[in-house]
Structure 1
Amino acid sequence: MSGMLATGTRLTTEDGEEMVVSGLLGSGGQGEVYQVKGAMGEKALKWYYPGCATAEQWDIVHNLVGRGFTDDRFLWPQAMVTGPRSGFGYLMDIRPERFRGLPDLFRRELDTSPLALVTAGLHMVEAYQALHSKGIAYRDISYGNLFFDPDNGDVLVCDNDNAVGEGEVTGIAGTMEFMAPELVRGDPGAMPGTQTDLHSLSVLLFMLLTNHHPLKGRAELDINCLDEAAERRLFGKRPVFVFDPENDANCPDPDEHRTVLLTWPTIPPVLQKLFVQNFTDGLRDASHRVRETQWRHALSEVRDTIVVCADCGKQNLTEPRETKPGVCWRCRHTLMLPPRLVVTTRMPKVERHLRLRHKAKVYAHHLQAEPDRHRYGPDGLVAELVEHPQKPGKYGLANRTGTTWSTRRSDGTAQQVAPGQTVPLRAGLEVDLGLARAVVREH
């Protein structure tokens, strides 16, 4: 596979750092990506096709580099690069192999889990929220720019070279099937920004959880040729949610759209309501679109209350505060709800509900009223459900912090639990976690 830059080509950053091209990694719509090596180590280089290497694109990327935005969820442009002839590109970190593209997921080529998908959705929402908080609109949120780890749900946003400051009019408007309806229609005054990003984000989130586009139902099947004019009708002029409760003109076809008909019922009502809001009122009025904070609250609650079926072992998404067990999506047997840990932060008071499923964990963000980010790694671990080594079926809550807990049983008996120790799990158990208090409920 050959590209615009030959192996061994020497290039220079704007600051004078030299590098050598090691090989071609891939290509896309705007340019090619190479592996390069220099004093900075191994990096990835996006090199623009001649037709895309415009002065406008230079200014966009140069401004992004100048912002110095550092976030491990983004392959952010780090330095401008020029070569011996005309042309330019930019440096970024190399994408680790553990991250896979969403098209692999949609083709069912990945072994993943509902837990990983919900986690990926939560991390995705928080990543774009972090970008928006800096006054930057991404403008091209789609399945082509997001990668995730199918094992744990970590995400990585790539192709960040079209993001601009809120209100700027340069660059692209997005990918048609992810664009907000007002952009597809070309409404007067409509322009890409954080408000239109919210629509794109919701489309991508729906696809992540259902493997289907929210606006592709029977109306798409009635189109003989899905050309640009047809796409503008489907996504802009007459968009209808496939599960619009008041309009069934675009409902899923039972033969052609079996996947979404099977996956939609597995989505808990707390998420279904947000999707309905975003793709009914939100299609007509941008101010009614679901905000990142709403998504992150709902997704984190759903993640905390996933239940594993005792009969077939499949993970089930459940309504966070529901006490009546539902049925497993796979085997249709009634689910057994594990005990619930209710964590209440001190001030301001926020209540969180965690299902104490096998190997359940409590993290630092559970003790915060409004965490800036949900981190599920070992560094943030606070408590963990463990099984008694000599008494199978008996469980306890292990202290994974560096401080001693104060606990109280339902009979009033108190116990101090030092770091590394475990307190037996019983209904009514109260645990002082410092920043929050936790109580074990039977259901």
Structure 2
Amino acid sequence: MSNGMLAGGKTLVTEEGERVTVGELFGSGGQGEVYRVSTARGDRAVKWYYPQLADARQRHILEGLIEKGWDDDRFLWPRSIVMDPDGKEPGFGYLMDVRPARFQDLPALFRRDPSVRDATMRTLVTVALHTVEAYRALHSKGIAYRDINWGNIFFDPRTGDVLVCDNDNAVVEGGTAGVAGTMDFMAPELVRGDRGAQPGTQTDLHSLAVLLFLLLMNEHPFNGALALRIHCMGEAAKRKLYGTDPVFVYDPADTRNRPVVGEQPTVIATWAALPPILRDLFVQTFTDGLRAPAKRVRETQWRDALSQVLDAITQCRRCGRQNLTQPDGAPPDCWKCSAPLQLPPRLELVTATGTTLRTRRGIRLDPSARVYAHHLDGDPDRHDFRAVVGEVTEHPKQRGRYGLTNRTQAVWTVRKEDGSVRDVEPGRTIALQPGLLLEFGGGVEAEVKE
């Protein structure tokens, strides 16, 4: 027995006539219950709505999403509507893929759950980057998610891969949905109920920024001194905190809601360790963006900044901890042991765009650094960390001496400071020296700089 609305062993049928058999109950939420089901193509999942929510509007939304037929492995997308062929169970649900076990929920970070103990600073920045790219892809299809929050993003603690769940409330921009969002993540105009304000891609941008702040700072961007003074965090208190009087904890012009020393040490420490390139984006979206939605930070801005920060992560030589550094900036002190960081050489990449060349980014050549295929693309839609182009490796006999190993099937061309030119065959390594010029092919060039 499933101990839910649907009994174990019950048969449901999709609109295409495929029969599925109900198995175990995965869990329940605000809209319905999710079950494992067996199909002719293997195990899948079904979300079955509570009867009072299985209305014509929700069915219309589902039909529109299914018609999109979107095949993106970052989303558990609705595949087909399912019903009880006997008519004994009122309502309907929808069929989707099963969430793989490697994906954990984001609140596990707050709980310090053992399932996420492998997550590093690099992993968290990668999760942020993949999350931004996933919602950018959704918005590019003209679809607004409407309810971006902690509970809808799952991540792999080892790789930083993400999976967006609960996609049944996403609607085509301008459409209507029964869900306006989760108040902690909702744009202020929605919390206040401003006339004409509707959930859409513009309000998604606010929710996305809240999610990124929570992910990187381990705290809500409006939960500072003002929040700590609230004795009962009820709906009225939340409406003021997130809607009628929202104050960013690090608003440069309004210090009322600063984090409280001794009470909120984590956000104080993480903000101090955050590179200015990310701080500036949070300040923009949580100050100007609160009053003027058009000034909210766009997905491409987040993508470019997070990608640059990811490429500038540097390991402290004293304590071994990963540090976020400002691309092209001066070395900070290690956030853990306070030792001055020693920045490794930087690989400055230049990519071809039409008939012109432009600098894309610099990669800090830390001992663990890699060059990926997306580094060679002037405007990548998606960062793929499986497509390795080059890898920093240590000399097998001379410790502390590093080179860049060719992990492609193509031949690189390099030019040394003395003017000599040589080829780097697949699998071969070139020693890293300041002034070294590399040609990766396809008009992509790079130079090693101190």
Regarding TM over 0.5, the answer is yes
State the match for 1:315 in structure 2.
322
The residue number in structure 2 matching 1:350 is 359
1:79 matched residue in structure 2 = 80
- Distance between the aligned counterparts of 1:296 and 1:43, measured in 2? 32
Which residue number in structure 2 is paired with residue 374 of structure 1? 383
2:254 to 244, 247, 268: 247
Matched, 1:384 2:380: no
Structure 1 counterpart of 2:445: 437
Return the offset for 1:390: 2.0
Q: Which amino acid aligns with 2:449?
A: R
Q: Structure 1 residue 337: deviation in Å?
A: 0.7
Whichever residue aligns with residue 237 of structure 1, its letter is T
Rounded Cα–Cα distance in structure 2 between residues aligned with 1:122 and 1:413: 39
Q: Which position in structure 2 is the counterpart of 1:118? A: 125
CA–CA separation in structure 2 for the residues paired with 1:350 and 1:50:
56
Instruction: Report how far residue 396 of structure 1 moved.
Output: 1.2
Would the aligned equivalents of 2:367 and 2:402 in 1 still touch at CA under 8 Å?
no
Alignment counterpart, residue 99 of structure 1, candidates 103, 116, 119 = 103
Shift of 1:87: 1.9
In structure 1, C-alpha distance between the alignment counterparts of 2:57 and 2:185, rounded to whole Å = 24
The sequence identity of aligned pairs, in percent, is 56
Tell me by how many angstroms 1:387 deviates.
Answer: 1.2
Alignment of 1:243-322 (within 5 A): 243-322=250-329
Stretch moving more, 341-350 or 153-162 = 341-350
Residue 332 of structure 1 pairs with residue 349 of structure 2 = no
Give the drift of 1:23. Answer: 1.0
Query: Which residue in the other structure is 2:147 paired with?
Result: 140
Distance in structure 2 (CA, Å) of the matches to 1:128 and 1:441: 35
RMSD: 1.0
Tell me the equivalent position of 1:130: 137
What secondary structure, in the 3-state scheme, does the structure 2 residue paired with 1:419 have?
A: coil
Superposed CA deviations along residues 306-334 of structure 1, whole A, max 9, x for unmatched, are 00001111000000111x32110000011
**What are the Cα deviations for residues 64-107 of structure 1, in whole angstroms up to 9, with x where unaligned?**
11111111110000111001322211111111111111111112
Q: In structure 2, give the amino acid aligned to 1:107.
A: R
Structure 1 distance, partners of 2:211, 2:349, is 31
Corresponding residue number in structure 1 for 2:411: 404
Secondary structure at the residue paired with 1:35?
strand
SS at match of 1:25: strand
Q: Distance in 2 between matches of 1:405 and 1:212?
A: 45
Q: Structure 1, residues 382-410: CA drift from partner, whole Å, max 9, x if none?
A: 11111111222221111111111111011
TM-score when normalising by structure 1: 0.97
Q: How many residues align?
A: 439
Q: Tell me whether 308-317 or 79-88 shows the greater mean CA deviation.
A: 79-88
Letter in 2 for 1:28: G
Greater Cα offset, 49-58 or 193-202: 49-58
How far is the alpha carbon of 1:40 from its aligned partner?
2.2
Match of 1:175 in 2: 182
Deviation at 1:17, TM superposition (A): 0.3
- Which segment drifts farther, 291-300 or 391-400? 391-400
1:438 partner letter: A
CA distance in 2, matches of 1:12, 1:438: 57
Mapped partners of 2:265, 2:331: distance in 1 = 25
Q: In structure 2, how many angstroms separate the alpha carbons of the residues matched to 1:51 and 1:351?
A: 52
Deviations 1:128-179 (A, max 9, x none): 0000000000000000101111112110000000000000123211000100
The Cα shift of 1:225 comes to: 2.0
- 1:274-302 CA-to-partner distances (Å, cap 9, x unmatched) read 00000000001101100001000000000
Which moved further from structure 2: 389-398 or 110-119?
Answer: 389-398
Q: Distance in 1 between matches of 2:369 and 2:406?
A: 13
- What amino acid does structure 2 have at the position aligned with 1:25? F
Extract unaligned runs of 5+ from structure 2: none
Q: Tell me, in whole angstroms, the C-alpha distance in 2 between the residues paired with 1:266 and 1:331.
A: 12
Structure 1 residue ranges without an equivalent (≥5): none
CA offset at residue 25 of structure 1? 0.9
Alignment partners' CA distance in 1, 2:326 and 2:433: 23
Establish whether residue 216 from structure 1 lines up as the match of residue 223 from structure 2. yes
Q: Does 1:341 align with 2:342?
A: no
CA shift for structure 1 position 51: 1.6
Distance 1:169 1:97 in 2: 33
Partner of 2:148: helix, strand, or coil? Answer: coil
**Cα distance in structure 2, aligned partners of 1:358 and 1:51:** 57
Partners of 2:338 and 2:228 in 1: CA distance:
31
Aligned residue number for residue 237 of structure 1:
244
Query: 1:93 is matched by which residue type in structure 2?
Result: D
Q: Which amino acid aligns with 2:254?
A: N
CA distance in 1, matches of 2:313, 2:56: 50
CA distance in 2, matches of 1:46, 1:66: 18
Q: Which amino acid aligns with 1:150?
A: P
**TM-score calculated relative to the size of structure 2:** 0.96
Alpha-carbon deviations, 1:243-297, whole Å to 9, x = none? Answer: 1111011111113222111111111000000000000000011011000010000
Aligned partner of residue 77 in structure 2, secondary structure? coil
Helix, strand or coil for the counterpart of 1:176? coil
Which residue is 1:364 aligned to? 373
C-alpha separation in 2, matches of 1:182 and 1:113: 35
Indicate the residue corresponding to 1:15 in structure 2.
Answer: 16
